[in-house]
Structure 1
Amino acid sequence: MPRFPVVLRGYDCDQVDALIARIEAVLRDGAPRPTAEDVLSSRFAVVLRGYDQGAVDRFLYARIRELSARALPQSSPRRRADVGRLIDWIESVEFPATRVHARYDVREVDAFLERVVAGLHGAAPPLTSGDVKAGAFRRVRVGRGYDRGEVDRFLGRLAEALDDSVVR
């Protein structure tokens, strides 16, 4: 069982310990629950003299990656190539910046695409095609932004690519 720093206001220690015990049972014995999705949706009460939230979150994200890796079928060379190609495609996209037409905030769009790539790399929880379709960005009224039409078309194609691929 990991040791977390206790801080003035942090996560309820008993709740965190119970979830970690269940996660360790899955990783050690192959128990069916909790899944990576269960861990992601877990919430803890914030109490006086609880575990440091950042330390717990970092630990849990590492365990989520392990749980996700166990849930996926063994990777094939074709799958890795598909993921690599998808990552290259996302990283190479260039949206026209405009000051005239309807536009999205550049930083928000870039940060969202970085989250998609991090999920494909396994460094963060993966985003689904539904997450991509539901992506919403702040509209820029003054200054430069990405053309909304171009971003929306790209995200539509990205959602289709995630649906069609074996990446989930």
Structure 2
Amino acid sequence: MTTPDTSARTSFPEAHGREKGYDKQPVDDFLARARAAFEDGSDDLTSADIRRAAFPLVRHGYAIASVDAALGRIEDAFAARERSAAVAEAGARAWVGQTRELAQEVLDRLSRPAQHRFDRVSRLRYGYRVSEVDLVADKLARYLETGESVTVEQVRSVAFRMQRGGYRETQVDAVLDAVVEVMLAVK
């Protein structure tokens, strides 16, 4: 007889050596919840919820890259379902208009002068490295303006080093989430 703990377990590889990975039980619980929500067609989870999922890091946990890749595919499926439902309810024109508004809002933020695109944390605290965020912001602005090639996976996997007095993480993360939302809306 299998226990619920082992029967629901997924088959992600474990993190190697000293590397930490995602705690297995919270990952398995979240994926079971996502599967149930998707199969039932419920609104208990959204693509944004999938995007924001976070798990504790532990030794012998699931390999982070494998779980993140699976979450990306799940997010894509939820976003496609949400897009279909919104188009069926309000029509394609409303969906495109809403997406265009969000894209313009993001572009307005990304088009601000370098070093002034986001709020800064105090000089005593750490935030995202300004030069790295500005570099990514320039690339994303070009994507939104001209369609320069950027993939959803590139945006999902962007990471910044930290610096004292850097950009406020929550603001940068919110804009990156909005970019992913726009990309999935037009996918």
Query: 1:80/1:31 Cα in 2 relative to 1: closer, same or farther (>3 Å)?
Result: closer
Does residue 70 (structure 1) correspond to residue 55 (structure 2)? The answer is no
**Partner in structure 2 of residue 144 of structure 1:** none
**Partner in structure 2 of residue 24 of structure 1:** 35
**CA contact 1:39–1:64 (8 Å) conserved in 2:** yes
Residue type of the alignment partner of 2:15: V
Residue type of the alignment partner of 2:22: Y
Matches within 5 A, 1:2-151: 2-8=10-16, 9-72=20-83, 73-74=86-87, 107-113=135-141, 123=152
**CA contact 1:65–1:122 (8 Å) conserved in 2:** no
Distance across 2 between alignment mates of 1:81 and 1:38: 22
**CA contact 1:65–1:123 (8 Å) conserved in 2:** no
Distance across 2 between alignment mates of 1:54 and 1:80: 32
**CA contact 1:6–1:52 (8 Å) conserved in 2:** yes
Give the length in aligned residue pairs: 118
Unaligned 5+ segments in structure 2 are: 1-8, 104-110, 116-130, 157-170, 173-181
**CA contact 1:5–1:52 (8 Å) conserved in 2:** yes
- The percent identity for this pair of structures is 23
**CA contact 2:87–2:95 (8 Å) conserved in 1:** no
The runs of 4+ residues in structure 1 deviating greater than 6 Å are 79-84
Question: Alignment RMSD, CA only?
Answer: 4.4
Distance across 2 between alignment mates of 1:32 and 1:122: 27
SS of the residue 1:26 aligns to = helix
Structure 1 residue 113: deviation in Å? 2.7
Which protein shows a greater Rg?
1
SS of the residue 1:22 aligns to = helix
Structure 1 residue 112: deviation in Å? 2.5
TM-score, length basis structure 2: 0.46
SS of the residue 1:51 aligns to = coil
